[in-house]
Amino acid sequence: MALDTIELFCETPPHFRYELIPNSEQTCSRIEHFQILDLPFEITAEIFSHFLPQDPLRSLPGLQSPTLLCQVCRQWREIAISAPWLWKSLQLDLVPEFLPQQLQVLRTWLKRSGSCPLSIGITYKAAEPGLTSPPVDNFIQELMLHSKRWQSMEMNLPFEVLHLIHGEMPQLLALTIGPNAVPEPPPQHPLRLFHSSPHLEHIVLSRFFQPCAIQLCWENCTNLEGLFLYVDECFVILTQAINIVCFKATIESGGDIVAPMPALVHLESLLLLPGETEPDDSQMRLLDALKLPALRNLSVSELWFTPSPAASINKLISRSGCHIRELCITESRYDGARWQYYLNGSNLHHAESKGMGSIGQMEEVMLSMRGYRG
C-alpha cells in the first residue's frame, strides 16, 4: 500500500476510515495493526532522519544521533548503518581526556556517511594559562580525507593545527573559522585557507579571528558575520569582500582607515554592534568611509555618531544614494518615531531604537542572527 494512503488513513477519524477505502475491511485492519518493522527500508530510514536534529543543528554523539537508533534492535541498526544521510552531520566538542574515543567517533561517522555532503563542527577549548592541551592534528588529517564533501564546516581549534587545512573544497557553502585563542607569538605571514572553495558564500569569524593571521578568500563571500573585530580589521576585510550582501559584526575601538574604501555595491544589510571597548572616533571613521548604494537595512549604535547622530545617518544615505527601509539604532536617546521624523526624506518604512545590555547579551543577539550553530 502506498505511503500517502497510509498517512491519509491515519489522519482520518476512525468512524470515517471504512468510507475512505470502500470494501477494504481487510486492508483497514492491516493498517491498524501495522508494525514499523514491516515498513520498507527507505521509509524507515526517512522516518529516522526526522528523529535527528535538522539543519543548521548537527548531531551530537549519544542522544539525538543515529547511534541511539543502532541500539534499539538488530534491524534498526542495519537500517541506520545502511542510510548514509543519517551520518552526514556531526558536532564534536573535543575533550582532552577522551580524544582517542572521539577520533574513533569521527572516523565512524565519516565512513558511514558514504558520499553525502558533510556538515561538521569541531571545537577544542583553549588550555588554561600554563597548561598544554594534547595535539589534535589527527582530527584535521582525518577530515582532510573528505574535504571534497565538506558543505558546512565549523572549526574552532588551536592556531597551530590550522595549517593542515588544504586542498579543494568544491561543495563548501558555509564556514565558521577561528583559532580558539589569540596566536602567540603572532605569525610572520598569514595562513592562506579555503582559497579553493569557489562556492563559499557564508563566513562566520569567531572571537579570536585576525585577518593578519588567517587570510581567507573574501571575493565570493556574500554573507559575513564577525565577533569583536577591530575597525582596521573590518577595513581589510571589506575592501576585499566586494560581493558582500549582508555584514553583521561587533566592532571594537582602535585601528584606522588607511586608504579609500571601494563602494560595496551589493551590500543590502549592515548590522554593527559595540564590542567590549569604549567607543571612540574610529567607528565613526569606518562609517564615514562606507559607500553603500544598495543599503536597505541598517542597525548601528548611536554612541558612534557624534555630535549629531541624525546628521551622520543622513550623510551616509546621501553619500551612498541608498534607500534605507529598515533602521535600528541601539543605545539611542530617541524613539523610533523620532528617528522616522529625522529621516523623513529617505523613504524609511520602519525605525526603532533599542538599548543594549552586557557583552553577553550582544553575543546572544549576534548568535540569534546566525541561523546555525557557530
**Cell 584535521 identifies what position?**
140
3-state helix, strand, coil in the chain (%, to 5): 35, 20, 45
CA 91 to chain centre: 13
**Cell 523620532 identifies what position?**
338
User: Which residues, in sequence order, are bridge partners of residue 252?
Assistant: 230
- The three three-digit cell numbers of residue 365, written as one number: 543577539
Bridging pattern class, strands 246-252 and 223-230: parallel
- 138: Cα within 13 Å, side-chain hemisphere: 12
52-99: per-residue pLDDT in tens?
777 666 777 777 788 888 888 888 889 889 999 989 999 999 999 999
Rounded CA separation 352/112 (Å): 49
Q: 25 pLDDT band (50/70/90 cuts)?
A: low
34 within 8 A of 9, measured Cβ to Cβ? no
- Whether residue 113 is predicted with pLDDT greater than 80 in this model: the reply is yes
Written as one string, the DSSP assignment of 26-48 is HHHHHHHT--GGGS-HHHHHHHH
**Residue 62 burial class via C-beta count within 10 angstroms: exposed 0-12, middle 13-18, buried 19 and up:** exposed
- Whether residue 45 is predicted with pLDDT greater than 90 in this model: the reply is no
Query: Using omega within 30 degrees of 0 as the cis cutoff, is the peptide bond preceding 307 cis?
Result: yes
The residue ranking higher by pLDDT, 127 or 166, is: 166
Range of weakest confidence among 30-44, 80-94, 139-153, 353-367: 353-367
275 within 8 A of 303, measured Cβ to Cβ? no
CA 247 to chain centre: 13
pLDDT confidence of residue 35: 65
Tell me which range, 131-135, 209-213, 258-262, is most confidently predicted by mean pLDDT: 209-213
Q: 144 pLDDT band (50/70/90 cuts)?
A: very high
pLDDT confidence of residue 39: 76
Query: Using omega within 30 degrees of 0 as the cis cutoff, is the peptide bond preceding 185 cis?
Result: yes
Q: Is 221 helix (H, G, I), strand (E, B) or coil?
A: coil
